[in-house]
């Protein structure tokens, strides 16, 4: 592997691990600390529509998606799902509270959206299991499998 390709793949790995760990923690929290009932009640207080379904969906995408990112599985699909969940959080909960998370703002969900979308278009890289499962998930924007993958 060429030096730039190695660096690119190590950066993708770091991004997947970092985002994945954060998502696992938040998904785990929804299941164990708050429980789905507590998450549902919280979503109701925030005005989230279909609160029970939304609580389950968010918890599963965060926990399952976080695990998938860590191992590099279905990264393009997971990236889109995570961005969707966070876009909903931004629109429904954080949009009227400014930028800073300390004020209930959207900075945290914005960073997650951007990172998730970046991973959705780049894929897992060479250090994810996607490369062993299907060349389709490794295709770049031009429809080609990268030579360094």
**23 lies in some domain:** yes
Count up the domains in the chain and report the number: 1
Look over the chain and give the mean of its residue pLDDT values, rounded to a whole number: 91
Confidence at residue 1, expressed as pLDDT on a 0 to 100 scale = 80
pLDDT in tens, 50-91: 999 999 999 999 999 999 999 999 999 999 999 999 999 999
Confidence band of 145 (pLDDT split at 50, 70, 90): low
Reported confidence tier of residue 112, pLDDT bands at 50, 70, 90: very high
Q: Is the pLDDT of residue 120 over 50?
A: yes
Enclosing domain of residue 31: 3-138
Q: Is 132 part of a structural domain of the chain?
A: yes
Task: Establish if 143 belongs to a structural domain.
Answer: no
Looking at residue 50, its pLDDT comes to: 96
Domain annotation covers residue 147: no
Q: Judge contact between 146 and 138, C-beta under 8 A.
A: yes
Entry pTM: 0.88
Residue 145 is assigned to a structural domain of this protein = no
148: in domain: no
Please give the share of the chain, as a percent, with pLDDT higher than 70: 89
Nearest 5 degrees, angle CA 87-CA 90-CA 93? 135
> Is residue 8 situated within a structural domain?
yes
- Predicted local confidence at residue 147, as pLDDT: 52
What is the structure's pLDDT at 141? Answer: 45
Percent of the chain with pLDDT over 90: 83
DSSP 4-44: HHHHHHHHHHHHHHHHHHHHHHHHHIIIIISHHHHHHHHHH
């Amino acid at each position: 592997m060429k030096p730039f390709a190695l660096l690119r793949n190590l950066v993708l790995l770091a991004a997947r691990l970092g985002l994945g760990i954060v998502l696992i923690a938040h998904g785990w929290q929804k299941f164990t600390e708050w429980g789905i009932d507590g998450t549902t009640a919280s979503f109701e207080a925030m005005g989230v529509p279909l609160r029970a379904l939304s609580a389950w969906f968010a918890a599963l995408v965060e926990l399952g998606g976080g695990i998938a990112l860590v191992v590099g599985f279905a990264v393009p699909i997971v990236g889109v799902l995570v961005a969707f969940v966070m876009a909903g959080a931004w629109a429904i909960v954080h949009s009227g509270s400014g930028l800073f998370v300390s004020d209930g703002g959207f900075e945290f969900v914005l960073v997650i959206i951007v990172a998730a979308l970046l991973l959705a278009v780049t894929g897992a890289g060479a250090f994810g299991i996607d490369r062993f499962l299907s060349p389709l998930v490794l295709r770049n924007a031009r429809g080609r499998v990268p030579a360094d993958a």
